[in-house]
Amino acid sequence: MTRATLLQARNLQVRRGGTRVLDVPALDLRTGEVLALMGPNGAGKSTLMLTLAGLLPPSGGELHFRQNRLQSRADRNAFRRCMTMVFQDPLLFDATVAQNIGSGLKLRGVPAAERQPRVADWARRLGLGELLNRPAHQLSGGEAQRTALARAFVLGPEILFLDEPFSSLDAQAREGLIEDLGHILAETGTTAVISTHDQGEAARLAHRLAVMQEGRIVQLGGLREVMNHPEDPFVAAFVGMETLLKGQVVTCREGLISLRLGKGPSDLEVVALGEAQPGQTVLVGVRPEHVSLSLQTDNTSSARNAFPGAVTKVIPRGPFFKVELDCGFFLSAYVTAQSLSELDLHPGRQVVASFKATSVHLIRKEGLDTQL
Amino acid sequence: MDLIWEGLRKALELLLRLDPEVLGITLLSLKVSGIATLLSVVLGLGAAVLVALNEFPGKRLVIALMNTGMGLPPVVVGLFVTVLLWRNGPLGFLGILYTPAAIILAQAVIATPIIAGLGLAALQHLPPGLRLQILALGATRTQMVGLLLWEARLPLLAAIMAGFGGVISEVGASIMVGGNLKGSTRVLTTATVMETSRGNFDVAFALSFILLVLAFSVNAVLTHLQQRSRPR
């Protein structure tokens, strides 16, 4: 993606009561991209977002919008009319849906006659066409958040900030809204920043992903890159790489790495792709959706890694099930409801877990020996 | 009981006859308390907005003082305003002691903390993120304050009603700084006190009745405004 940089942050810092709650040396937001911020509560996602939106003055650092530095209050005020933000709480006004959607336009002095068709258009696009005259306090959670999104999109923002917009919705409302938001973002090409602690939301909406921890961005990259190649155990755990095992490189030949799991002598060997130094200690990561389960070893399979093991736990996870296995090491796999019944998976059931060499991700980081 | 019936009969008669003196007292009460309330709305809401939207050291103390001010005894206010306006006092040069202006000043001192305290509570009760949301929609600071006040309009009107109710029914300060001078600073409450002490229960009843109707009417109008503005 070689797109122009729309918003640029340099050495952004926020202090609160003497402690540094945000420290971002550099972050570029490119025109048309959707950047997801992920991290646990208190990682600084909201603080970063409010700072980028010009709603929270940073303690230090610079913001550049379209190559112009935002310095004076007038600069920031002008910038505020180029962006808008949707929060976790819909924060609707005590007025009708139509009045709410039109409120940003009204603040900009757009006459009522001009507002009306734009409001109606965005109400329709967010499925609120029938609710235009309904008072906001009578809306369901999903309808309220749709109203908040319509109120934002009707402004045609150059940047849309979405601060955990789905966190307070029930699963059904969330599902439909994520889908609609994805379509609208793609259609309008709106540049957006969305914070979430749900990797599924990020995966469905974002082009790039930044994982935050303690006020800092610990990894920033393309969505697949971060999801499949986390650089450290924290990111790995956070983006859903549920199996993380310590291993040691045994051999490395022609791009094939052979690893031994665990500390002592063991016969559990995992094959991965890439280059590594024999003797090196690494973390072996496997995403649960890359692990498949069967009743016996399938020789025709291209999966190089196959381990017999016993099911220890079956946990429902929405449309699929998470199955935890003991294969001499911990392994987590996602299966569909169909596979669950076909394989008759239950604690104690013996199965064979397999995954491709390409699905094995190695984390090589200084200090792993002492860390774990 | 005869006393009460006789009083009520006389009261009705005075009212129906539109007695000029009673009418004058009523209009003065309305005017004085109305202006005092308006002043208090400006000062009290201004203070409430400043405190609600800003973080500063000692904010809790300021809020505690505002809330204490809501219970200022009118006679204490009357005493201080009298001393202030006394010939040799700091504001003595104004020469307004024992004029309606003095009553307005004293009543404003009583109503301002009521409106400020209840107004602040109304603003602080708004969702914490609303201010940022309004700014994120492109509002200027002035527009933001206006929208916040509009969103809090129900409890804010209640605050104004409380302020008006406090001063229209107050007697201590009015009598101290106004002097209950016939035709000049005699308001409904001070006149009622005087007539009662003279044994003119019929007139006192008439004045009390008017006071109740007045308080009810003003609050009815405000309540109507308050409830009408809410979409259903």
The DSSP string of A138-190 is GS-HHHHHHHHHHHHHTT--SEEEEESTTTTS-HHHHHHHHHHHHHHHHHHT-
Asked if A262 and A156 sit in the same domain, the reply is no
Per-window interface: A 23-62 vs B, CB < 8 A: 50, 53, 55
Interface of A with B in 290-349 (CB under 8 A): none
Q: Is B57 helix (H, G, I), strand (E, B) or coil?
A: coil
Q: Tell me whether B228 touches chain A (CB under 8 Å).
A: no
The DSSP H or E segment spanning A235 is helix A233-238
Query: B201: Cβ–Cβ under 8 A, 6 or more apart, which residues?
Result: B3, B4, B6, B7, B195
Chain B closest-CA separation from residue A186 CA (Å): 22
* DSSP tag of A355: E
B104 or A297: whose pLDDT is higher? B104
Terminal-residue alpha carbon distance, chain A: 37
Say whether both A227 and A285 belong to one domain: no
Nearest CA in chain B to A139: B232
Tally of domains in chain A: 2
Tell whether the torsion through CA atoms of A136, A141, A143 and A149 is positive or negative.
Answer: positive
A87 lies within 8 A of chain B by CB: yes
Which residues on adjacent β-strands are paired with residue A63? Answer: A9
Identify the domain boundary among A218, A236, A254.
A236
* Nearest-by-Cβ selection for A94 from B132, B138, B230: B230
Closest CA to A27 of A154, B3, A278, A58: A58
Task: Give the Cβ contact number of residue B22 at 10 Å.
Answer: 19
| A93 shares its domain with A144 | yes
What digits encode the pLDDT tens for the residues A183-217?
Answer: 999 999 999 999 998 888 999 999 999 999 999 99
Q: What is the pLDDT of residue A85?
A: 97
Residues 6 or more apart whose Cβ sits within 8 Å of residue B186: B25, B28, B178, B180, B194
pLDDT at residue A209, rounded to an integer: 96
Is the pTM here over 0.90, yes or no?
Answer: no
Q: Which of residues A219, A236, A253 is at a domain's end? A: A236
The length of chain A is 372
Query: For A107, which of B138, B231, B232 is closest by C-beta distance?
Result: B138
HSE-CB at B116 with a 13 A cutoff on CA atoms is: 26
The DSSP call for residue A29 is E
Distance CA B31, CA B23 (A): 12
Question: Is A83 an interface residue toward B (CB < 8 Å)?
Answer: yes
Mean pLDDT of all residues in chain B? 92
Residues of B in contact with A81 (CB under 8 A): 138
- Is A173 in the same domain as A279? no
Q: Domain boundary at A236, A269, A284, which?
A: A236
- pLDDT tens digits along A235-246: 998 888 989 988
Cβ-defined contact of B139 to A77 (cutoff 8 Å):
no
Residue B232: pLDDT band by 50, 70, 90 thresholds?
low
Contact between A51 and A43 (Cβ < 8 Å): no
**Could you tell me which residues are beta bridge partners of residue A7?**
A29, A65
Q: Enumerate the β-bridge partners of residue A324.
A: A313, A332
Judge if A231 and A289 occupy the same domain: no
Nearest to A166 by CA among A56, A83, A90: A90
In sequence order, the β-bridge partners of residue A317 are: A320
pLDDT at B231 over 70: no
Residue A371: its pLDDT value, please?
Answer: 46
Residue A135: strand, helix, or coil:
strand
Task: Please give the structure tokens belonging to residue A58.
Answer: 């940073």
Q: Which domain holds residue A41?
A: 5-236
Give me the CATH number covering residue A222. 3.40.50.300
A172-192: pLDDT as tens digits: 889 899 999 999 999 999 999
The answer to whether B57 contacts chain A (CB < 8 Å) is no
Could you state, in order of their start, the residue ranges of all structural domains in chain B?
A: 27-185
Q: Which residues of B touch A93 (CB under 8 A)?
A: 147, 150-151
A91 and A172 co-located in one domain:
yes
Q: Is the pLDDT of residue A163 over 60?
A: yes
Provide the 8-state DSSP code for B84. Answer: H
Distance of CA A87 to the CA centre of its chain: 16
Is A112 near chain B, with CB under 8 Å?
no
Q: Nearest to residue A213, comparing CAs of A88, A38, A363, A368?
A: A38
Pairing of strands A68-69, A60-65: antiparallel
User: In sequence order, what DSSP letters do the residues of B160-214 get, joined into one string?
Assistant: HHHHHHHHHT--HHHHHHHTT-TTTT--HHHHHHHHHHHT-HHHHHHHHHHHHHH
Q: Are residues A26 and A150 in the same domain?
A: yes
pLDDT of residue A1: 46
Cα A258 to its chain centre, rounded Å, is: 31
- d(Cα A240, Cα A334) in Å, to the nearest integer? 11
Residues of chain B numbered 135-154 and touching chain A (CB < 8 Å): 135-140, 143, 147, 150-151
| Count of residues making up chain B | 232
Query: What is the mean predicted confidence (pLDDT) over A286-298?
Result: 86
Fold of B27-185: MetI-like fold (1.10.3720)
> Are A229 and A323 part of one and the same domain?
no
